[in-house]
Structure 1
Amino acid sequence: MKSRSLSVIAGSSYLIIFFLAIFANFFVLESILENPLKTVQEDQLLVRFGILAFILTVVFDVVVAWALFELYKEHPLSRLSTFFRIMHAAIMGVGVAALPLLFSLNTPLEILQQVENFNTIWLTGLFFFGIHLILLAKILGKPKWIAIFLIIAGIMYMADTAAHFLVANYEAYAPLFLALVAVPSIIGEMSLTVWLLTKGGRNNTNFTN
């Protein structure tokens, strides 16, 4: 497959992931957190679509991993970077597989605990995703500002996961960690997505301006 086609596939899949994640997180999970029992029992269709969105996120994450590997497979770090992204997708898949259990729970506390279990599994996967981003930045190289944001985002993903397990009063710092993760990841990954869709594949060894 041509490099340009692989780049478009990676960029398009990344874009789909963004929209699916926004829907699943901000429309579904937030609804559950605000009103656990009512959402799970009375808005089951919304919850089921949210679970499907998470499943598709895992699918397209694997597609991105494959496309990026094929695009940059000559780089010595490409295989390792791909492994870490696949690990992230696999762990995410385990978390999503537990979400249908929500429909068998009868109290808000049980529902919130199940969502917390999912978030913990997801956070674990994001640690490996952070390593992937750091390696990907090294593989891509240019433009340097995108690579820098990917590195920062990768470090912040890893730091957030580590803090979640190591800091006893993590909830007190959660908004700060959210901002530290969100800003570089949105800038870096969205910029990468746009670049892949518009310029990627013309040189499959590194970025070109």
Structure 2
Amino acid sequence: MKPRTLAILAGFSYLVIFFAAIFANFMVLEAILENPLETVQQERFLVGLGIFAFMLTVIFDAVVAWALYELYREHKLSGLSTIFRLIHATVMGVAIAMLPLALDLTSNQEILQQVEIFNTIWLLGLFFFGVHLILLAKILDKPQIIRILLLLAGIMYMVDTTAHFMLPNYEDYASVFLMLVAVPSILGEMSFAIWLLVKGGKDLH
């Protein structure tokens, strides 16, 4: 497959991941957290769509991992970067498997506990994703600003996950950590996706 085709495939997959994750997190998961039992019992179709959207993120995560590996396979860190992204996708798949179990639960507490298990496993996956982003930043030779943003995002994913498990008063700083992760992550990964769609692979023929 030509480098330009691989870049477009990776960029498109990134966008699918981005929009599917937004829907699953903010339209479905947030609804469950606000009204657990009511959402699970009365909005079962919506919850199912959310789970499906999460599954799409895993599928296209694997597509991105493969496309980026093929695109930058000559770089010595490409294989290692791919492995860490696939680890993240695998852990995310395990996390998603926790959500359907909540559909048959009959109390708010049980449902919230199941979602908490999902979040905990997901956090572990984000640590490995952070390693992937750091390696990806080292693999890219341009554009420099995207490299910096991806590097910062990778570091902050790892720091945030570590803080979740090590800081007893993490919730006091949750909003700060969210901002430190979200800003470089959204700017870096969206910019990278757009760059892949517009310019990626053109100088690799």
| Alignment TM class, shorter chain as reference | over 0.9
2:97 is the alignment partner of 1:90? no
Please name the residue that 2:58 is paired with: 58
Please name the residue that 2:123 is paired with: 123
Aligned equivalents of 1:204 and 1:25: distance in 2? 36
Secondary structure of the residue aligned to 1:45 is helix
Give the partner amino acid of 1:16.
V
Please name the residue that 2:69 is paired with: 69
Aligned equivalents of 1:58 and 1:10: distance in 2? 14
Deviations 1:176-208 (A, max 9, x none): 111100000000000000000000001239xxx
Secondary structure of the residue aligned to 1:98 is coil
Aligned equivalents of 2:130 and 2:141: distance in 1? 17
Secondary structure of the residue aligned to 2:119 is helix
Alignment of 1:105-184 (within 5 A): 105-184=105-184
Aligned equivalents of 2:13 and 2:32: distance in 1? 27
What are the ranges of 5 or more consecutive residues in structure 2 without an aligned counterpart? none
Structure 1 residue 98, shift from structure 2 partner: 1.4
Structure 1 residue 114, shift from structure 2 partner: 0.7
Structure 1 residue 141, shift from structure 2 partner: 2.2
Aligned equivalents of 2:183 and 2:141: distance in 1? 20
Give the partner amino acid of 1:90.
T
Please name the residue that 2:48 is paired with: 48
Give the partner amino acid of 2:196.
L
Give the partner amino acid of 1:198.
V
What are the ranges of 5 or more consecutive residues in structure 1 without an aligned counterpart? none
Mark the CA change 1:199 to 1:176 in structure 2 (over 3 Å): closer, same or farther.
same
Alignment of 1:24-39 (within 5 A): 24-39=24-39
Q: Is the 8 A contact 2:130 2:158 kept in 1?
A: yes
Aligned equivalents of 2:190 and 2:111: distance in 1? 32
Deviations 1:23-53 (A, max 9, x none): 0000000000111110001000000000000
Task: Give the fraction of aligned pairs with identical amino acids, expressed as a percent.
Answer: 67
Aligned equivalents of 2:71 and 2:204: distance in 1? 6
Give the partner amino acid of 2:105.
L
Aligned equivalents of 1:159 and 1:102: distance in 2? 29
Over the aligned positions, Cα root-mean-square deviation in angstroms equals: 0.9
Secondary structure of the residue aligned to 2:74 is coil
Instruction: Tell me the TM-score normalized by structure 2.
Output: 0.99
Instruction: Tell me the TM-score normalized by structure 1.
Output: 0.97
Structure 1 residue 152, shift from structure 2 partner: 0.2
Secondary structure of the residue aligned to 2:23 is helix
Aligned equivalents of 2:158 and 2:172: distance in 1? 18
Aligned equivalents of 1:46 and 1:188: distance in 2? 30
Mark the CA change 1:128 to 1:204 in structure 2 (over 3 Å): closer, same or farther.
farther
Q: Is the 8 A contact 2:87 2:125 kept in 1?
A: yes
When structure 1 is superposed on structure 2, of 169-178 and 1-10 the one drifting more is 169-178
